[in-house]
Amino acid sequence: MKRLLFCLSVAALSLALAGPTLAQTRLRNICRVKGQEENQLVGLGLVVGLRGTGDGSDYLPTIRSLARALELMGSPLGKKGLEEITAGKNVALVMVTATVPKQGARQGDRLNCTVSSIGSAKSLAGGRLFLTPMLGPRPQADPKQKRVYGFAQGPVQVDPQNPTTGRIYRGLQLEADFFHPFIKDGKLTLVIDPHRAGFELAQEIASTINNHFSYEVRRSDLARAVNASNIEVEIPAIYRREPVQFVAMLMGLPLDQVQTEARVVINQRSGSIVISGDVQISPAVITHRNIVVETGNGQAGRFVAVDSSENPPARLQSLLQALNAIKVPPEDTIEIIKALHRNGSLHGWLVIE
């Protein structure tokens, strides 16, 4: 196939974007309060009532778990021990998980559960989860005493794509409150979204908080940027009895100049390319299959170097628009971007998913 020569000048590329992407946003859109995050409860249980699709009597972990369950129900095994259990094909050993929302949950609340076979079961269809204690992530004073936050049970709704996993709608009932404390020693910590974290943004957030509350509380040092991801904020004395009101005001503060980090995120399975910020590219020549891509002020067939002090740099968004105009396949476009990154010509973070 005849090779296609494709030249892109710096001047033409630079017309697409005039400068860095700036946007106004609220603090709650880029930060969270430390302590306000999801938590996982986990348990090891048995799904019973299967139609011969269980683990089988040869899978000893399931047989031992079934024997323990019978013992707790007041029906211990006899002299023959595990040999008395022959219903292994109707039972499956499963891992049970549930997510406690970031706002926490109260005693009596019901949560959805996920069950996953960890044995040799072929399917959990038609099964029911036997009463299973769910353990929390918080360490106890005595590590041998595990805290049970609730119990899970109920019919399993199997995933059609994977019959060894399923869900139980509202299958977990909490037996203890699950709160997320967010205040310690009169202070709270804001955590910046990891995709936005940076020293510049952390300092900007601290300055915004201090400027906003300085007149009301007669202080200008409430907030302090600890690192690129965390800002420590002291709760003013007038809000000590109303911390929720203070947090609501805090998270609603506007940030006028939030610069998006130059980043390219590529999902190779779907072929999607997402660009954030001002991703620039240096002059370069890329040869890929039947395509020759030249970025910079060049002429057909040869590359002419460009003095970046006299011309604005090219931008990746314009290059992608040009490649799309000549119907370059997504997989080829992705390879071109990766080649620019390997060559050091891509000025931004490259994330491959």
Q: Would you give the DSSP letter of residue 237?
A: G
Q: Would you give the DSSP letter of residue 261?
A: P
Q: Are strands 4-8 and 291-295 parallel, antiparallel or unpaired?
A: parallel
Mean local confidence (pLDDT), 273-284? 80
- pLDDT score recorded for residue 78: 58
* pTM for the whole structure: 0.64
Helix (H) or strand (E) holding 346, with range, is: strand 346-347
For residue 302, count other CB atoms closer than 10 A to its CB. Answer: 9
Residue 99 has pLDDT above 90, yes or no: yes
- pLDDT score recorded for residue 120: 87
Contact between residue 28 and residue 251 where contact means Cβ atoms under 8 Å apart: yes
- pLDDT score recorded for residue 226: 94
For residue 258, count other CB atoms closer than 10 A to its CB. Answer: 18
| pLDDT confidence tier of residue 333, bands split at 50, 70 and 90 | confident
User: Residue 253 CA to chain centroid, in angstroms?
Assistant: 25
- pLDDT score recorded for residue 37: 82
Contact between residue 168 and residue 128 where contact means Cβ atoms under 8 Å apart: no
Lowest mean pLDDT among 76-90, 96-110, 143-157, 262-276: 76-90
Buried b (16+ CB within 10 A) or exposed e, 107-145: eebbbebbbebbbebbbbbebbbbebbbebeeeeeeeee
Q: Which domains does the chain have, with CATH numbers?
A: 4-21+262-352 (no CATH), 25-36+182-257 (3.30.1360), 39-174 (no CATH)
Strands across the sheet with 284-288, in order?
Answer: 4-8, 291-295, 284-288
pLDDT in tens, 38-67: 889 999 999 998 988 988 777 777 777 777
| pLDDT confidence tier of residue 257, bands split at 50, 70 and 90 | low
The type of residue at 141 is A
| pLDDT confidence tier of residue 87, bands split at 50, 70 and 90 | low
Cα–Cα distance for residue pair 188/138, rounded to 1 Å: 20
- pLDDT score recorded for residue 311: 54
- pLDDT score recorded for residue 315: 79
| pLDDT confidence tier of residue 79, bands split at 50, 70 and 90 | low
Cα–Cα distance for residue pair 110/98, rounded to 1 Å: 10
Residue labelled with tokens 């002429």: 299
Residue 309 has pLDDT above 50, yes or no: no
Lowest mean pLDDT among 20-34, 175-189, 195-209, 299-313: 299-313
Residue 27 has pLDDT above 80, yes or no: yes
Lowest mean pLDDT among 114-118, 289-293, 317-321: 289-293
- For the chain, give the percent of residues with pLDDT over 90: 29
More confident residue, 302 or 339: 339
- pLDDT score recorded for residue 180: 77
Contact between residue 47 and residue 115 where contact means Cβ atoms under 8 Å apart: yes
- pLDDT score recorded for residue 227: 92
| DSSP three-state, residue 197 | coil
Average pLDDT along the chain: 80
pLDDT in tens, 131-158: 999 998 765 545 556 788 999 999 999 9
| pLDDT confidence tier of residue 259, bands split at 50, 70 and 90 | low
- pLDDT score recorded for residue 81: 57
Residue 83 has pLDDT above 80, yes or no: no
Buried b (16+ CB within 10 A) or exposed e, 178-203: bebebbeeeebbbbbeeebbeeebbe
